[in-house]
Amino acid sequence: MAEVEGVINGTYDYTQLRGDTGPLVYPAGFVYIFMGLYYATGQGTDIRMAQHIFAVLYLATLLLVFLIYHQTCKVPPFVFFFMCCASYRVHSIFVLRLFNDPVAMVLLFLSINLLLAQRWSWGCCCFSLAVSVKMNVLLFAPGLLFLLLTQFGLRGALPKLGICAVLQVVLGLPFLLENPVGYVSRSFDLGRQFLFCWTVNWRFLPEALFLHRAFHLALLTAHLTLLLLFALCRWHRRKYPVTAEGSLQKEGSTPAPHTQPYPLNHGKIVSALFTSNFIGICFSRSLHYQFYVWYFHTLPYLLWATPARWLTHLLRLLVLGLIELSWNTYPSTSCSSGALHMCHAVILLQLWLGPQPFPKTIQYSKKAH
């Protein structure tokens, strides 16, 4: 509230905007949304009203997530009980802490629903809106880029990427006109240093190593390498034409009339986006407690979407439980950080080794599900 109050008072230089917790480090979308909350809550004084608003936001997030899972039909229904009722930390992030992370994620899940509905332009627009609230959404960007290139090719993807870029410029225009360097360096600062006292995932490291630039570079290298491997070996598929009835034509067969150019199925879209984000989280320089919401709602899909005989339902639930326990340990310990990395490694291994689900048909019937 203190940060957006500066904008309300006429300060558009991002280097001059700050609050009790430090300088304003979020893009312009955050300013506009929390400016609305500023007025809706009596200049930030009506905390109960803010909690009610965030409770509605939480329910909207669940609705959007359930719509995604309903369309993919990969996760058994009993898992949703744990998603709704078993995370103290997520409930705290939404209705006690009132962070901007949930706002960014609800826009992200809306974007994914639009992509599943083949509304690619609107999906990219909502994706850019989510980035304008908090740039952690950029962890989904490699997956989105892969999907756009797969669906439209390079020339067709450029207009969609243009939508994302233009929206960022339009939202940030008042601040760009005042101090463009200050706005970009503050709101999209990729080199910002995190405090060791708040880390959830690297507590077992010496603080000197945690802060060392070589360690950050190693994480970035591992992040990009794994993204490239997944894009080339796991997400990439052979392109078969699809008939109007929805069946795939094998390579070398005579093209049927009314074939359509290689549509992406729901599972492919969700898998690429969720996996892209998860890889980024695995190699993050630091994870703070509010960052849990970045991937909490995607974990059931990552655990259940890929069949693996060695990973039973019980083991999957155990992984979810250990992750929840790690995020609820405050302050974090070497054991909690180690357990979190172990669970992440299990999920990554399953995603890499599991069979790649190529659909036999593109059109799904309710009876088949």
Cα separation, 329 vs 337, in Å, equals: 9
Average pLDDT, rounded, for the chain: 89
Same domain, 142 and 289: no
How far apart are alpha carbons 207 and 177 in whole angstroms? Answer: 39
Query: Do residues 272 and 280 lie in contact, with contact meaning Cβ atoms separated by under 8 Å?
Result: no
Per-residue model confidence as pLDDT tens digits over 178-228 = 999 999 999 998 878 888 999 999 999 999 999 999 999 999 999 999 999
Q: Which of 13-22, 64-73, 150-159 has the lowest average pLDDT? A: 13-22
Question: 2-16, 63-77, 297-311, 323-337: which range is least confident on average?
Answer: 297-311
Dihedral of CA atoms 67, 68, 69, 74 in degrees, nearest 10, equals 140
Please report the pLDDT score of residue 309 as a whole number. Answer: 76
Mean pLDDT within 11-40: 94
**C-alpha–C-alpha distance, residues 291 and 100, integer Å:** 10
Which one, of 234, 239, 245, lies nearest residue 364 by Cα?
A: 245
pLDDT at 355: 66
Is pLDDT above 80 for 50?
Answer: yes
Per the structure, the complete domain to which residue 31 belongs is given by 1-45+99-191
Q: What's the pLDDT tens digit per position in 278-302? A: 999 999 999 999 999 999 999 999 9
Does residue 186 sit in the same domain as residue 214? no
Q: Are residues 221 and 284 in the same domain?
A: yes
Give domain status of residue 127, yes or no.
Answer: yes
Give domain status of residue 85, yes or no. Answer: no
**Cβ(267)–Cβ(74) below 8 Å:** yes
Looking at the structure, tell me whether residues 155 and 180 fall in a common domain. Answer: yes
Q: CB-based burial of residue 308 (10 Å sphere; 0-12 exposed, 13-18 middle, 19+ buried)?
A: middle
Domain count, the chain: 2
Name the DSSP class of 365.
-
Of 158, 191, 224, the one marking the end of a domain is 191
Query: Is 134's pLDDT higher than 80?
Result: yes
Considering the domain boundaries, does residue 369 fall inside one? no
3-class secondary-structure state, position 19: strand
Domain end among 134, 156, 191: 191
Give a yes or no: residue 81 inside a domain. no
The answer, yes or no, to whether the previous bond of 331 is cis (omega within 30 of 0) is yes
Give dist(CA 358, CA 317) in Å, integer. Answer: 26
Among 174, 191, 208, give the residue marking a domain's end: 191
Q: Is residue 71 part of a domain?
A: no
140 within some domain: yes
Q: What is the pLDDT of residues 234-283, one digit of tens each?
A: 887 555 444 444 444 454 444 444 444 456 899 999 999 999 999 999 99
* Mean pLDDT of the 14-19 span: 92
Could you tell me if 233 and 177 lie in one domain? Answer: no
Rounded distance, CA 290 to CA 296, Å?
A: 11
Question: Quick one: 336 and 231 in the same domain?
Answer: yes
Would you state the pLDDT for residue 368? 42
pTM: 0.90
| Residue 342 and residue 211 share a domain | yes
Are residues 139 and 212 located together in one domain of the fold? Answer: no
| Position 64 in a domain | no
- Inside any domain, residue 252: no
- Alpha-helical regions (H) of the chain: 2-8, 28-40, 47-72, 79-85, 88-95, 101-116, 120-133, 141-178, 180-187, 207-211, 213-230, 266-282, 299-304, 313-328, 334-353
198 and 186 assigned to the same domain: no
Share of the chain above pLDDT 70, in %: 89
Q: Do 338 and 225 sit in the same domain of this protein?
A: yes
Q: What's the pLDDT tens digit per position in 347-368?
A: 999 999 876 544 444 344 444 4
Identify the pLDDT of residue 365: 41
Question: Is pLDDT above 90 for 47?
Answer: yes
Same domain? 224 vs 153: no
Q: Give yes or no: residues 130 and 205 share one domain.
A: no
